[in-house]
Structure 1
Amino acid sequence: MPGKPPPRSSRKALPLAPRMVVKEVGELMPFLIAQLPHKNRNNIKTLLRDGQIVVDGRVVTQHNHSLQVGQQVEVRREKRSATNVYKGLTIVFEDEHLIVIDKQEGLLSIATHTQKTNTAYHILSSHIKKQNPANKLFIVHRLDRDTSGLMVFAKNEPVKRLLQESWQTAVEQRTYLAVTEGVLRQPAGTVQSYLQESKALVVYSSQNPGDGQLAITHYQTLKQTSRYALLKVDLETGRKNQIRVHMQDLGHPVVGDIKYGARSNPIGRLGLHAWVLSFTHPITGEALRFQTTVPRKFAGLFNE
């Protein structure tokens, strides 16, 4: 019939709010809080995480994204396209220079002699080649297969080199969550030692400066039970297996880490997660900060 509205399913999805014009330089989170008074900070963090905040037509996920006068911000009803979610990883940020992902435990960072395709590198390489078959991918740093969380890949060799050469100065924050065995006598502190890897691929800790590379780990207890502790761990250096070895040094190994002394595995995985990563973009100079959700298995162990 004339004038009859179309079925609900055929209507176009509209944004939750009209486009908002930036009138002064600032960061995204304060802008959204001011523009969306009906939403609290956690609501806005969820919108950011789900890729529903768009600045000048581009999805933005970091809360401290810099806004310039005249830019347009909108809130989309739909969550981020599923093309950003693959089996084993989720793309949390991508531009023409780099990709940041949230990797699940059990997924290799790069190929080994026995596993070539089920890796973060292979998945992302296929992803960027869909955009252009000539695209290449370069790994910046690695996470152990059984460690989950944030990783960075570069889309060209110069960016990879810039990131790796300036990693210690460009990274403002590199924070992990660790579930460890037992209750620490000191709820917070710093572990410092020299780490060296043996031919058997086991990393050893020593107080002798001649026995490897300096490694410094800061930790703080967030929650604990009579058997386990949830630690916030900040890396001052980034050595292979650093957190795992330093937790063993403390006498409180990461749960599920048989290699470094664990006797229990209450969550069915290694209790280590790359939680927060903050660094300066090597090309744009923009301050990027990413924070993932606490793994459910971690949180579930400390539910009261």
Structure 2
Amino acid sequence: MPPNRRQPPTVRLRRLAAELRRLRREAGLSQEDVAEKTNVNNVTLYRIETAKTKPQLRTLIALLDAYGATESERDSLIALQKEAKQRGWLHSFEADLPDQYTALISLEAEAQQAINYESLFIPGLLQTEDYARAVIQGVLPTAPETEVENFVAARMQRQALLESETPLRLWAIIDQAALCRTVGGKAVMRAQLDHLTRQAQRPNITVQVIPFSAGAHPGMPGSFIVLKFPLDDPDVIYIDSMAGDLFLEKESEIQLYNDICEHLRAIALSPTDTLALLASPHEDH
């Protein structure tokens, strides 16, 4: 993976930045005004307000004083500052996984909804352990066993999001090609399709398959995930490619991928027809 790929900020850090921008504007202060009041220079303030850096606690308190923040606002934002780089269960995996993959997991854990389009694989959140292991071994044929097992363990842990008290809402759109590729052998693939069928019937999971009969479509260039967050935090687009993983955060990019999602959902089989396809013999896929 290219070393200069920047990890996106955590959702907590993005929320903190947005709240500080809001408070400054409501106080009627320019960045230059803030610099005079707090001795926080314009460059530092810009980096804080764009979630490129986490403010030190004393800096945050100085900003909140300058903005006349209420006690509840102060308590909430100080808590966000302390949690801004929190990664939860992922901490034990971070040394063994690529930075961009750990960034995906962190953002995914904060998301309210994920729309995952896959052209060649069953989505990671819906994979069985045996299928996941076969996929990782196939994609990384020279990886040592310990690396493969770390990826498998992390992928299985990610799936807890679907069964939490407030579960992630997952909309999976899968090209029919992913159902036809026998990964790990017939028994592994049959078990995977059975698992996918069961998961597709959960209330927080929607699965649609794009049939071969749909012809060419906008998803053919590659897979992606659209992560949607609560409290109007902007979406993040994750793209996994041979050139390295990418995170897209520009408004125009987000709009483009949301438009693609709408198109793919429209040409895919309905959730009911998808279940019927999954229930048919593997050879018919």
TM-score (normalised: structure 2): 0.32
More strand by share: 1
- Which structure carries more relative contact order (alpha carbon 8 Å, separation 6+)? 2
TM-score (normalised: structure 1): 0.30
